[in-house]
Copies of this chain bind each other. A is one copy, B any other.
Amino acid sequence: MASFDVLGDGTITSVPGIWAAGVHCGIKQSDALDLALIYSEVDAAAAATFTRNKVFSPTITVNRENLKSPTHRVIVDNSGNANTCTGERGLQDARRMAAWAAEAMGVKAEQVFVCSTGVIGRFLPMDCVARGIRQAAEMILRNPQSTIHNPIEGGHLAARAIMTTDTFPKEVAVQTEVGGKTVTVGGIAKGAGMIAPNMGTMHAFVATDCAIAKPVLKSMLRDSVQRSFNSITVDGDTSTSDTVIVLANGLAGNRPIENDGRSYNQFKVALDYVTQELAKMIARDGEGASHFITVVVKGAMTEEEAHRCGLTIANSPLVKTAVFGRDPNWGRIAAAAGRAGVRLRAEKMNVWLGEVQVMKNGGAAEFDFQRAQAVFDQKDITLTVDLGIGKARWTVWTCDFTYDYVKINAEYTT
């Protein structure tokens, strides 16, 4: 059985050879951090997944091009402005941002990934971006007195610098053994609104010192994203800039993972933990949420159907408001499953709120209303749905729908 240790205070810079910084350069009106730089001391293999939204940021265009480079060194990410719907000038800005980060860190431009998150339809303030890159690079490279010289602290700053409506930074790191060597996997993420099933739906950056061949990393990341970032939803909206990037710099010195097998599985379990924890933090931080909801769908014909059914339930405003209202209204869960477009047998369906069975063989189960309502006393609740037809299962994470979701999104100003 593959296993790993979760590192206390872990972040992306828990990974050997990974440095980071976060600065305020003026993109945001407030004095919050708004630009992050992540740097690998040595060449790293990279894999990435991007938004499937057809209206996408030019940063996605640049990153798709740069992903062809055999090695990578830098990720630069600003918050406060999504550089989206900005046309040719936006594309030039994204290229300049990558070029400046490359120059500041002494790497090639194609070794840089560039990301932007925030308001759509405004041009990046490039003077701020230039200043921010310069400051962040100095923190990493030239100032041994800086707090950044504690690598952990740099990861924390970067995690804060990529936040928009997030209420807390999202960071995690684990250690495991691969081929007799200690391997670390750490990551940071941002996202609280515009979270939906199509692709990562936010920014997440993961680093590891594991040695792994680029094609293997690519297919592994795709599956890992499916089970993590593509299994969370806050509001069904897919962002235009969603990006997941993993950098693997090989400093652990393990024999490079080049195909399936024991090392592959060992590393995959650690990677899945990191991506799922980051994904769950995003769902937990869902705008205005009062409950974190785990939706388990079992008894499905295929994993794909269980996944789709779980997302349909997790996206249902009626289910989400029922949880907020502490209402064990299981009919809304059954109705959402019924419209998910998956195979099921209504007369074999069972639903549980926490441990309390509320729907049994297609009808109302006999249950104690007080006990069912008490499930909502916990901030973390699990809804389990058995479709009664097959053996496949999937888990999806979301949050409830509250007055504050409406407030946050009605008052967010263009």
Is A138 located at the chain interface by the 8 A CB criterion? no
**Cα distance, A362 to B89, chains bound together (Å):** 12
CB distance from A389 to the nearest CB of B (A): 11
Contacts known (A122-B364, A406-B406, A410-B322); A338 close to B236, Cβ less than 8 A = no
CB distance from A124 to the nearest CB of B (A): 13
> Is there contact, CB below 8 Å, between B362 and A85?
yes
| Residues of B with C-beta under 8 A to A414 | 327-331
Interface string of A317-350 (1 = CB under 8 A from B): 1100110110111111011111100001011010
> Is there contact, CB below 8 Å, between A331 and B82?
yes
Q: Name which of A49-57, A182-190, A255-263 contacts chain B.
A: A49-57
Main secondary structure of the interface of A (DSSP, over half): loop
> Is there contact, CB below 8 Å, between B409 and A322?
yes
> Is there contact, CB below 8 Å, between A86 and B120?
no
Is A87 located at the chain interface by the 8 A CB criterion? yes
CB distance from A69 to the nearest CB of B (A): 25
Is A167 located at the chain interface by the 8 A CB criterion? no
**Cα distance, A338 to B338, chains bound together (Å):** 27
**Cα distance, A406 to B407, chains bound together (Å):** 11
For the complex formed by this chain, how many copies does it contain in all? 2
10 contacts between A and B (CB under 8 A): A55-B337, A85-B363, A85-B364, A86-B364, A87-B361, A120-B331, A121-B334, A196-B339, A235-B318, A237-B318
**Cα distance, A220 to B389, chains bound together (Å):** 36
Closest to A358 in B: B121
- Chain A residues packing against B (C-beta within 8 Å): 52-56, 82, 84-87, 90, 119-122, 193-194, 196, 198, 235-240, 315-318, 321-322, 324-325, 327-332, 334-339, 344, 346-347, 349, 359, 361-364, 401-403, 405-407, 409-414
| Residues of B with C-beta under 8 A to A86 | 363-364
Given A236-B236, A327-B411, 7 other A-B residues pairs in contact with their CB atoms under 8 A: A84-B331, A85-B362, A86-B363, A120-B332, A120-B335, A194-B335, A238-B335
> Is there contact, CB below 8 Å, between A406 and B401?
yes
Contacts known (A87-B347, A334-B55, A335-B55); A317 close to B409, Cβ less than 8 A = yes
> Is there contact, CB below 8 Å, between A405 and B331?
no
| Residues of B with C-beta under 8 A to A325 | 409-412
> Is there contact, CB below 8 Å, between B236 and A316?
yes
> Is there contact, CB below 8 Å, between A336 and B237?
yes
> Is there contact, CB below 8 Å, between B338 and A56?
yes
Contacts known (A121-B363, A236-B317); A54 close to B338, Cβ less than 8 A = yes
